[in-house]
Structure 1
Amino acid sequence: MALSMGLAAAAFPAPSAPPKAAPSVALHYGAQAPLEDLKVFDIVVVDADHGYNPSTYRSPDSKLYAYAALTEVHPTRSYFQRIPAQWRLGRNADWDSVLVDQSQPEWPRFFAEQVIAPLWERGFRGFFLDTLDSYRLAARFDEQQQQDGVVAVLEELHRRFPGIQLILNRGFDVLPRVSDKVQMVAAESLFQGWNAQSKQYAPVSAKDREWLLQQLQNTRDQLGIPVLVIDYVPPQDRAKTRETARQIKALGFTPWVTDQQLNTIGIGSVEFVPRRIAVLYSSDEYPAPNYSDVHRFLDMPTNYLGYISEYFDVRQPLPPNLYGDRYAGVVTWLGGDVASASQPALQRWLYQVVQQQLPWAALGQFGFDLTPTWSRLLGLQTKEASTGLLQISQQDAMVGFEIRDFPADRTPQDVLLAPSAANARALLTLKDSKGQSYTAGAITAWGGFMHTPYVIQDVPGTEDSRWALDPFAFLQQALRLTPLPVPDVTTENGRRLLFAHIDGDAFPSKAEMPGNRFAADWLLTDILQKYRIPHTVSVIEAEVSPQGIYPQFSAQLEGIAKRIFALPHVEIASHTYSHPYLWDPSVRHGLFEHNHEAAINLGIPGYEINLQREIVGSVQYIRDRLAGGKPVNILLWSGDTSPGADALEIVAKNGLLNMNGGDTFITRSRASLTAVRSHGIFKKGNLQVYAPITNENLYTNLWRGPFYGFERVIETFSMTETPRRLKAVDIYYHTYSASKPASLTALHQVYGWALKQPLHPVFASEYIRKVHDFYAMALARDGEGWRIRGRGDLRTVRIPQSWGAVDLAHSEGIAGSKAADANTYVHLTGSSALLRTAADAPSAPIALSEANARLTEWNAQRDQVQFRLEGHAPLDFSLVLPRTCQVRINDRVATPSSVTPMAGTSVQRFRLSHAAALIQAQCARR
């Protein structure tokens, strides 16, 4: 009889401390291992036959190890046929593999040359050697000879590959002879295992556990080798996975608890927290996900909470085996019943989601009729339609977010459901004239729902909408979202980001000012030479090149472009070759099939739109003729700014960054968060980055006037700062804004406002990379703290002030923090951090409060810190100094420009005339 799990953990004393610091380890043998997520682990073991490349694994804090079986080989391995028949000792029937005779004199050389050497050449330096004692499955073998053979292989590997790191699966009998050659020892199934014969998960018997535990304790305590324990639990049972990992960790071992195929993200010494939400839309309603309501409206709140939408079309096969290891939940926002041909597959898929206890939030409609089976599963009951009007009888605080008063004349087809489950909480209840109740929305045991029209409502007489439902609260409660340290693209070192970017439209237009000058020339002299913040400036090739549509002006226009691009605070972008209006062929031939705008570009004679020419060709033209040796690595989308997957793939394959689209356009007269967009959207694996704020075209009624309208972008900047900081300050406009006195005056007002704010100037390229890092950053629970790993471009995470103060003394990779409203913005020093908070954090070491530049170096001890700031404007930074300290800047004693006393500390502000400096602070010891 198996010992109970609780008693098992208590029965075995854990060591006071492991002899060696044990890294966190994950094993994933799938063909598409999610490496961006797995980088929260120090070591990630993969099956290298799936093509993984450690040299391109962009994670300085995590290493890829390759799987290799030592004492057996599967027939699918490339080297199987080269193993002589006389070396084959027997078979492992459970896994259909062949046992290899370790006593063969040539086997160590063969294994080193045929198995490890090709992987070493690809960049692998660590290896997980599986099945060290499978030879025992053979009918006949000599134990000593087999063990001697295993030792010979390990010695050969160390001789041939200096610095090789090895994790061995078992091999307890040979460990005393090779302990100096082993990084870790692994063993499977201490508490929970997989029965390969019955194909079932099963608890490990007390007898087997006791024997294995003794081996593991001897390995750790007597040989000083860290131990990795691999247990197997059904992937949908995250609670048991978590508890099994806790039991293993309590014994002083490194856990990895996963599914039997090692094809999901298990739980180890740290627990990865998924940020992805599977979002379903229907291409019957929208030609592409970026046109859908769920993307236009819900993605921004999703991003603000730190989560990421991944889109799936219900008309296409939906992803099988969606588990809580990588997904936080599922969202559907369907306008009505999906196509009848798609309904069965959708219902089967959602049924599996609910059965696997992955939270589901249903907005709009469910997409299919609720059968009795579905009603029972969801804890809902259908009602017949009433003939009268409905009136609100109960309204949760979550409802009425931007609309306080709902019309009372809702027709019964809007809502015909009522929760029958006792643990459901109604969000909105309506009654008909007979007193019958209907529920428009609820938080339920499986997630939650809200029906149309109580999600968003259109504003009559406009194209605008408003939130009826609080999307932030609904997502958090319906999907049971874990509160996260949110990767934040709006801020660095406590200050909101600032940049400007300019689409090249109308570069050749003549300005309506004295002198008959080109608008581009006014842009150069009146804006760019005056406001020396980072700018990203683009041109349209066909507007300025000799082969374009204005060859008579090309020499002048190229000359202006060269002078603009030579400015040190300008980086260069392309705004395409011919400025296509509609980018996505599926849209061009679908929704806009009869729209003449589908063919709009600059109308170059004989030219038909070619994506390679528009993107790569235009970039190469600028590099060759205008850039003067500066890099040109950005493509700013033109027209509808909605590229298809093919255009995004060209950008990615050519190493280019991209931006534009989204059209965030919130003002006091359009005061709804439905007008604020997400950070971007993925299409077939490639990311389109949205501009934080839309350009002057919308503020000027599509450039029909008023031409001073762009001054209202200041309203947008303010409304995306309070009550939530949602966007960076991006001054985004076209060259034609320098063509009219009114629009030029508006630009001066906008720049003047921005320069008065405490902002952090960056280039658009830096912002774009932060957005990429937002989607790539991985988070994990690490004890009472958070492990944060990204690419090093995004340097801020946001936490609620209710979490307490940042415990700098027990955190790593964190320079300080800055409170703003109800949030704390935490400053990361690089690509990796460990964040801990405390209600009463211990006395703070020296910390960075805020800065308008990037940290390129941070070395801190309790009483001293040395760091380097590099920015794009004269430095302005503040330090929290706990007691009497001396600050030196570029090796000279510095005096703060202001000092703000705090309890036991002070905040000292320093302002410099240059944009980079080495700063040292030395404080007296207590």
Structure 2
Amino acid sequence: MPTCFLYRHSALLGSVLRRLVLACTLLAGGAWAQPAPAVALYYGSGIALSEFGNFDILVVDPDHVAAPRLPATQVYAYASVTEVHPTRAYYDRIPAQWKLARNADWQSDVIDQTTAQWPDFFADNVIAPLWQQGYRGFFLDTLDSYRLAQDFDEQAQQQGLVRVIETLHTRFPGIQLIFNRGFDLLPRLPGKVQMVAAESLYRAWNARTQRYEEVSEPDRAWLLEQLRTVQERDHLPVLVIDYAPPHDRALARRTAEKIAADGFIPWVTDSDLSSVGIGSIEPVARRVLVLYNADESPSLRYSNAHRYLQMPLNHLGYVVDYADVNQPLPSAVYPDRYAGVITWFSGFYPGSRGRMVEQWLGQRMDLGLPLAIFGTWGKEPGAAFARKLGLQNAAEPAAPTALTLLNQHPMLGLEAQPPLPGAQTDLEQLGPALLAQSTPLLALRDAQGRTLVGGAITPWGGFILDPNVLTEIPGTEAARWIVDPFAFLQASLRLPVLPIPDTTTENGRRLLTVHVDGDAYNTRAEFPGSPLTAQVLLDQVFRKYRIPQTMSIVEYEAHEMTPELTPRLEAIAREIFKLPHMEVGSHTYSHPFLWDTSRRHGLFLEDSEAALTLDVPGYTMNLEREIVGSTEYINTRLAPPDKPVKLLQWSGDTAPGEAALAITARAGLLNLNGGDTFISKLDPSLTAIGALGLRKGPYLQVYAPATNENIYTNLWTGPFYGFERVIETFEMTGSPRRIKPVGIYYHSYSASKPASLKAVHKAYDWALRQPLHPVHAYEFAQKVQDFYDFAIARDGTGWRLSGPGHLRTVRLPAALGVPDVQASQAIAGWRPGEEAPYVHMTGASARLQTAAAAGAAPYLYEANGRLAAWQRTDQGFTATFQGHVPLVVTLANVQGCRVRADQRPIAAQRRSANTHTFQLAHAAAQIDVLCPGR
């Protein structure tokens, strides 16, 4: 139900709160001098509420979302008091005689507040169901709507509203209320209202004309007087909600600044409250939309956009959404959530879609969204689109032999040089105006003296055309970047300098994961006595390396395939899972080779005769059986009662469809595998590093940090020692950019041969020599999930950071300085990194303040355990760590300080100019740092 307020000098109704999101703000001056909560209002349903996670209060329409849970945000429910819309569930239970008037603009009925039964009806039918869902705060709207009636007793109506509020406080102890106006009620309700909101101080939405408008000076003066009274008489914080088009972020920002300067909490949003607005803090857009042509690849997974482009975008901190140009393109793509739009086409998409796509792209440009073009335009730009882009259509194509090189930008030549001028194909001539404002990346001159470019950074974004994007290595599936994708994306999309959520690191140390797919668990190993491969794994790997590891089982192999071995195989599995450092995973029932049977793609392409699973007599592949059934088998027969399966490890082509992901999510499992990161000295290209994962519908497939030994051994044909090259992958994904954790990932069959087992040992031994932070694979999957739900907001000169709580590291680009640990909140410390410092959050949310240079306060430099608790004190801090291996903790600026572990003094094993490293015998400890005189 939208909010409806009256201007004092006109009948124009303000459009309030249809879809609420509450923006956060600190009060600048005014009678109410305490820091005000950050408030946002959002009434929509298409945006993940995690994008509002940096606000202290978020108001939602409970009819549009399930009762949300955000770690650091109080979620309030919208409730209309005097108006009821026919769409509300309780509308039909309201007697006709209770209806006082009709709001024609919103098609709602105004309820007579003098009705004796109304307070209890409102409490029972509106608030009680929401209270049961977990809401404890409510945004009460339409408190003034009784004035829409032709004839009413104002005092009686107000007294009826007072009875409603008093009834709520009696029936729901501890209830928190925000009033939308209702100024005259406040003196009668001392202590019963938390905050007062009002709409349209500077900018309004006219519901009748459907237009955004400036508020008149008389209306503004009257409202300003009411709001000052609320502050001075009632000593309540004031939230002002103004309206601006969702694409005009500059206008919204200026309006929010005006409201804050007046001493109020600002929230500026669109007329439907269905976008991410701007308040006293400004949420940062972390999404990028990529257009691709599904006809160019067997599936999105194999498209250039996903294979090559998503990883750089993820590393820069951005979530990637995809849209197929053969389908209707999304309309709600605005700068509130999207940092830009990218296209990557290798050829031309159907002509019937060409102009529609151009029109759509032109509309995004009009909204101010940067546009980056990779490969081809997808369709020769039409005259109107070419003019919009600033391209000048050449009268005739250039003759390749007549081209000479004028300039090559340093952005080109990252892993391979651009083709020679004679091999250039897609070139554009920029119009004079565009050329003057652009930076050509590859400029050539033809025989007619024209300057043609193969790419440029332009005022609207940028483009890089084939053959200057990447080149394929003949006779292989390998490719090399010609253009630096990081630099091109940063420049063309004009990406701001931000703290970047990072899934590779926690508390300054690179993560280490180990997970094993159960293939060939029931086979015999090539060792004296032909022991079971499962026994070799247990004895020579899992019992030797006491670090977090995940072992998965293929149910059919362990239970049915070799029935004579079943008792022994199951006993070994129980021994494995009893080990305290082992995590339990499922590798399905029958090991599907092809997960999405709706389109035969991936491992088997179009081979209709290819096996879908292991040969299970009488069995037809069933997703529920593969996922839920295998999990139940492992939980009931193999896993300890306190260690149920938490991770589903994809088999075969590792390309589950949305249906499989949905079943996995409903079963309460996270998932892992796919991605195919295999960079090595044999293929030393960024193109061989996969993304974090791939969304399919609302579900996320999480990719493994690195691929498994099957790739390094040429699909298990040899050399069987090939997995030792995974160490090159670890090194090359750690420097010069730390893009991935160290992820040891292999199959049971690596324990079946001496050469492959030796390679596995080499991988473990290398990892244990590094200063890493070991975690279970499930914990890594949680961090990748968090990456998609992580929120960043500008807060004055600092930043607000929030997420579900598993991802606790951000990289801080050099341009932002270093953390000011004393001025920050919930920041334990930082450590220099390969590209930028890694900043350690202590929980789900933090406020990060930066400085040009590090201060003298003590802080956490790095640790191989997770922070379970943290508290900074006047002279130091107290930190509780919980890890998986004996703790190693490095502290900075603790010279002259007393350091205790579990109340006992400890001495540093290593010291440097400003760090002290402490080694403990246990995986958990409380560290107290006391620095007298600091």
Instruction: Output the TM-score relative to the length of structure 1.
Output: 0.95
Contact preservation (8 Å) 1:851, 1:878:
yes
What CA distance in whole angstroms lies between the structure 1 residues aligned with 2:158 and 2:606? 76
- The aligned residue for residue 574 of structure 2 is 562
Structure 1's 31 and 909: CA in aligned 2 closer, same or farther, altered over 3 A?
A: closer
Which deviates the most, 596-605 or 159-168? 596-605
Report how far residue 628 of structure 1 moved. 2.9
- The aligned residue for residue 302 of structure 2 is 291
Contact preservation (8 Å) 2:30, 2:231:
no
1:198-347 to structure 2, matched below 5 A, reads 198-347=209-358
* Off by >6 Å, runs of 4+ in structure 1: none
Q: Pick the aligned partner of 1:874 from 865, 886, 891.
A: 886
Q: Pick the aligned partner of 1:923 from 914, 921, 931.
A: 931
Q: Deviations over 1:765-791 (max 9, x none)?
A: 111101101111111111111111111
The reply to whether residue 15 of structure 1 matches residue 23 of structure 2 is: no
Report how far residue 914 of structure 1 moved. 1.2
What CA distance in whole angstroms lies between the structure 2 residues aligned with 1:795 and 1:90? 53
Structure 1's 917 and 419: CA in aligned 2 closer, same or farther, altered over 3 A?
A: farther
Which deviates the most, 181-190 or 515-524? 515-524
DSSP-derived class of the 2:913 partner? strand
- The aligned residue for residue 16 of structure 2 is none
What CA distance in whole angstroms lies between the structure 1 residues aligned with 2:367 and 2:458? 15
The letter of the residue matching 1:438 is L
- The aligned residue for residue 368 of structure 1 is 379
DSSP-derived class of the 2:717 partner? coil
Report how far residue 582 of structure 1 moved. 1.3
Report how far residue 94 of structure 1 moved. 2.1
What CA distance in whole angstroms lies between the structure 2 residues aligned with 1:31 and 1:820? 39
1:605-644 to structure 2, matched below 5 A, reads 605-629=617-641, 630-644=643-657
The reply to whether residue 381 of structure 1 matches residue 380 of structure 2 is: no
The letter of the residue matching 1:751 is Y
What CA distance in whole angstroms lies between the structure 1 residues aligned with 2:458 and 2:301? 29
The letter of the residue matching 2:506 is E
Number of residue pairs the alignment of both structures matches: 903
Identical pairs, percent: 53
The letter of the residue matching 2:634 is I
Q: Pick the aligned partner of 1:457 from 471, 481, 499.
A: 471
Structure 1's 198 and 16: CA in aligned 2 closer, same or farther, altered over 3 A?
A: closer
1:743-762 to structure 2, matched below 5 A, reads 743-762=756-775
Structure 1's 214 and 883: CA in aligned 2 closer, same or farther, altered over 3 A?
A: farther
The letter of the residue matching 1:725 is R
- The aligned residue for residue 429 of structure 1 is 443
Which deviates the most, 608-617 or 183-192? 608-617
Report how far residue 542 of structure 1 moved. 1.3
The letter of the residue matching 1:839 is A
Report how far residue 887 of structure 1 moved. 1.2
Report how far residue 593 of structure 1 moved. 6.3
The reply to whether residue 720 of structure 1 matches residue 733 of structure 2 is: yes
Report how far residue 180 of structure 1 moved. 1.2
What CA distance in whole angstroms lies between the structure 1 residues aligned with 2:378 and 2:231? 56
- The aligned residue for residue 6 of structure 1 is none
The reply to whether residue 529 of structure 1 matches residue 540 of structure 2 is: no
What CA distance in whole angstroms lies between the structure 2 residues aligned with 1:284 and 1:775? 27
What CA distance in whole angstroms lies between the structure 2 residues aligned with 1:143 and 1:177? 14
Which deviates the most, 701-710 or 785-794? 701-710
Structure 1's 468 and 617: CA in aligned 2 closer, same or farther, altered over 3 A?
A: same
Structure 1's 591 and 319: CA in aligned 2 closer, same or farther, altered over 3 A?
A: farther
Report how far residue 406 of structure 1 moved. 3.2
Q: Pick the aligned partner of 2:72 from 43, 58, 61.
A: 61
Instruction: Output the TM-score relative to the length of structure 2.
Output: 0.94
- The aligned residue for residue 103 of structure 1 is 114
What CA distance in whole angstroms lies between the structure 2 residues aligned with 1:205 and 1:602? 73
DSSP-derived class of the 1:810 partner? coil
Contact preservation (8 Å) 2:140, 2:178:
yes
- The aligned residue for residue 775 of structure 1 is 788
Report how far residue 282 of structure 1 moved. 1.4
- The aligned residue for residue 35 of structure 1 is 49
Report how far residue 416 of structure 1 moved. 3.8
Report how far residue 81 of structure 1 moved. 2.8
What CA distance in whole angstroms lies between the structure 1 residues aligned with 2:45 and 2:765? 53
DSSP-derived class of the 2:51 partner? helix
Contact preservation (8 Å) 2:803, 2:844:
yes
- The aligned residue for residue 208 of structure 2 is 197
Report how far residue 602 of structure 1 moved. 1.3
Which deviates the most, 596-605 or 179-188? 596-605
Q: Pick the aligned partner of 1:897 from 889, 899, 909.
A: 909
The reply to whether residue 912 of structure 1 matches residue 923 of structure 2 is: no
DSSP-derived class of the 2:59 partner? strand
Contact preservation (8 Å) 1:179, 1:225:
no
Report how far residue 432 of structure 1 moved. 3.3
Q: Deviations over 1:583-634 (max 9, x none)?
A: 1123317995641574242111111211111111111111121113221121
Q: Deviations over 1:55-111 (max 9, x none)?
A: xx2312112211111222222222223323332222222222222222222222222
DSSP-derived class of the 1:418 partner? coil
Q: Pick the aligned partner of 1:84 from 91, 95, 99.
A: 95
Contact preservation (8 Å) 2:578, 2:640:
yes
Unaligned runs of 5+ in 2: 1-26
Q: Deviations over 1:630-671 (max 9, x none)?
A: 211211111111111111111011111110001101111211
Report how far residue 175 of structure 1 moved. 1.3
What CA distance in whole angstroms lies between the structure 1 residues aligned with 2:758 and 2:549? 18
Contact preservation (8 Å) 1:566, 1:627:
yes
1:754-833 to structure 2, matched below 5 A, reads 754-833=767-846
DSSP-derived class of the 2:351 partner? coil
Unaligned runs of 5+ in 1: 1-12
The letter of the residue matching 1:469 is V
What CA distance in whole angstroms lies between the structure 2 residues aligned with 1:388 and 1:899? 63
The letter of the residue matching 1:357 is G
- The aligned residue for residue 72 of structure 1 is 83
What CA distance in whole angstroms lies between the structure 2 residues aligned with 1:863 and 1:590? 58
Q: Deviations over 1:504-540 (max 9, x none)?
A: 1111222222121122211111111111111111121
- The aligned residue for residue 516 of structure 2 is 502
What CA distance in whole angstroms lies between the structure 2 residues aligned with 1:822 and 1:661? 26
The letter of the residue matching 1:315 is N
Report how far residue 345 of structure 1 moved. 3.0
Which deviates the most, 515-524 or 209-218? 515-524
What CA distance in whole angstroms lies between the structure 2 residues aligned with 1:550 and 1:342? 55
Q: Pick the aligned partner of 1:581 from 571, 581, 593.
A: 593
- The aligned residue for residue 553 of structure 2 is 539
Structure 1's 625 and 15: CA in aligned 2 closer, same or farther, altered over 3 A?
A: closer
Contact preservation (8 Å) 1:219, 1:227:
yes
DSSP-derived class of the 1:599 partner? coil
Which deviates the most, 176-185 or 105-114? 105-114
Contact preservation (8 Å) 1:580, 1:602:
yes
| C-alpha RMSD of matched pairs (Å) | 1.8
The reply to whether residue 185 of structure 1 matches residue 199 of structure 2 is: no
What CA distance in whole angstroms lies between the structure 2 residues aligned with 1:669 and 1:852? 32
Report how far residue 181 of structure 1 moved. 0.8
Q: Pick the aligned partner of 1:511 from 508, 516, 525.
A: 525
Q: Deviations over 1:185-239 (max 9, x none)?
A: 0010001111122211111111111111111111112211000000011111111
Report how far residue 386 of structure 1 moved. 2.3
DSSP-derived class of the 2:352 partner? coil
- The aligned residue for residue 11 of structure 2 is none
What CA distance in whole angstroms lies between the structure 1 residues aligned with 2:602 and 2:304? 18
The letter of the residue matching 2:373 is A
Report how far residue 852 of structure 1 moved. 0.5
What CA distance in whole angstroms lies between the structure 1 residues aligned with 2:97 and 2:365? 53
What CA distance in whole angstroms lies between the structure 1 residues aligned with 2:235 and 2:810? 38
What CA distance in whole angstroms lies between the structure 1 residues aligned with 2:875 and 2:371? 50
What CA distance in whole angstroms lies between the structure 2 residues aligned with 1:370 and 1:152? 65
What CA distance in whole angstroms lies between the structure 2 residues aligned with 1:452 and 1:179? 69
Q: Pick the aligned partner of 2:873 from 861, 877, 880.
A: 861
DSSP-derived class of the 1:767 partner? helix
What CA distance in whole angstroms lies between the structure 1 residues aligned with 2:188 and 2:582? 63
The letter of the residue matching 1:580 is P
